[in-house]
Chain A
Amino acid sequence: MKTGVTARGPRHALRWSALVALSWAMAGSTLITVLPVASGATVVRHSRAQATRSRAQSTLTVAISDPPVSMDPAHDDNGNGLYTAELAYEPLIWENSNGSLSPGLAVSWHYVSGSGDRAFVLTIRQGAKFSDGQPVTPKAVANSLNYFSTGSGPTTADFKGVKASVSGSDSVTLTSAKPDPIFPTLLSQDYLAGDIISPAGLRNTKVLAGTPSGAGAYVLDTKETIPDTKYVFTRNPYYYDPSRIHYKEIVIEVISNPTSALEALRTGQVDLDLNAEAEQITTAKSSGLDVVETGAEAWDGVFLLDRDGSKVKALASPLVRQALNYAVDRPAIARAVFGVLGQADDEPTTPGWDEWVPSLANYYTYDVAKAKKLLAEAGYPSGFAMSLEYAADEAQTQEMVEAVVSEWGKIGVQVKLKAEPTISALAADLANARYTAVSLEWGSQPMFLQVGECWLPTSVLNPFHAEQPGFVKEFYAASGAPPNHITADMQHLSSITIEQGYVVPVAEIRGVMFASQGVNGLPTQLPGGHLNLVDVY
């Protein structure tokens, strides 16, 4: 006999209790879900409608992939940091979306004739004010420039040794011991030196790291801002050109996950997605979003570091380096690795920059037979062994390296690969000169900077201190040349690096961004793919 249990009563009661429990659980969950949805649904409709109005009247929300390194231009980098910097700081010179230059806080500029590009004069705009209402004076400009040259950001290296001094009631003169033919570019918003910091900001640089203090069109709203996540900018009431302020508020959101960024754009939470990827283009188009492909911003390839043959004798031969170039099927790799945004590139730059040599485009066609012939001529008919390091956190570079190494294997070149975990680790290891080649995605830049960073014996990307006879002398001569000679001189230097095979470029990489319909002022098909947020409307 079963104790306390009858055939029907307790089991019936159990089912009833279970139903009640399940009902409570479902009711509770429904309440948790429905209550906010009921109020939130209204908010969604309201928010979507608001988002539509926002773009037109009050708020532009932009998604970027990483936060700025610092709000202090002297310690910021010129990656994502440029978006916040150009809102808060007015540069001396603006680089426009089409690559031309126009006045910012400087209304005009010129090199001092006969100075060999060592002295540069700026005329400062009258009537401009910082966000605290204080006037922008030549002394404030000079102090800011001199402070910048003491900074630790990556672009400060281009400004080391430059001295700024007040040279008139409205002028500032920059002097440099070495020729510098690209002062206008360095003083644009792209290289941060020209982002003038207010005297109040310079008095407290610790605060400046988190709170910008400039003369830009917008001011950081520190109450609404969450560092590393969301930066809210409101209008600067003292800005000298109010017609250039199109929004009451610009919000920059850090959304590191590209999928999350696209979903935020699709739901109207974001108006402009700068963390877009090639693989998302189809989805973005089918969602009715604007897809803007910009000009190439960077290129990817292999830098041949051991050009003096210290470790691998073969690499000292230009014939060998040319062979490595001829052995790579650039169109196939660019298509496979970089998709619609990649294009074959055999110059260590991209179209539109001063070192791009139009006559040398497609200089290295894919020709395995020619590559083998060159190796044989150099005395390496069976190939040779070398080493190459890259950063594992650059996924496309890794794929490209594997493809290139496979191609080189066909001509007998064996490559020992080393994957550093991050680009920082790679940069730290570079100076040790342990590997004869390195693969990096490299941003396009003026030839003057490229040579300084890559081809001089003291360059960061020249750990073996390789020196092409006459190259350095020709570089310094070109640097001090009159403006109408510089481009031709720089292109000649660039030709040397291409013809001598200093590097094996593989693909130029175009940029892409997604926007809600109705967002205007975005650049298209421009050299450098330059976006100025202040120009968006």
Chain B
Amino acid sequence: MSYPETYKFTREHEWVHPHGAEAKIGITDHAQHELGDIVFVNLPKVGNSVKRAETFGSVESVKAVSDVYSPVTGEVTGVNDLLAQKPETLNEDPHGEGWLIKVTLTSPEELQALMSSAEYEEYIKAE
């Protein structure tokens, strides 16, 4: 799977897709592959705030739980309810239908500190 050029990436394998004052956040294909079959996703509620580099939820496979860290600071405006019914969506389409939350961007300059898709692909090759 390719890593979209319009996305930014973290060292903890989250992606953020900004559009205007908002952004979608999810985990990368590399992350879902490492986790294995995902069975449960624990997400915040609309209205909660998220902070850069702090956990906002977790993703569970059969044998492991992974905290998910927010790439940016903001307020949750949307939560992907599909994942409650079909957590496997996160394995099938991690960059698209498997998005986790939508947030408003409080400090858009935070995006500059994140990796581009090319940088991320280099990063995971090295891992």
Same complex origin of A and B: no
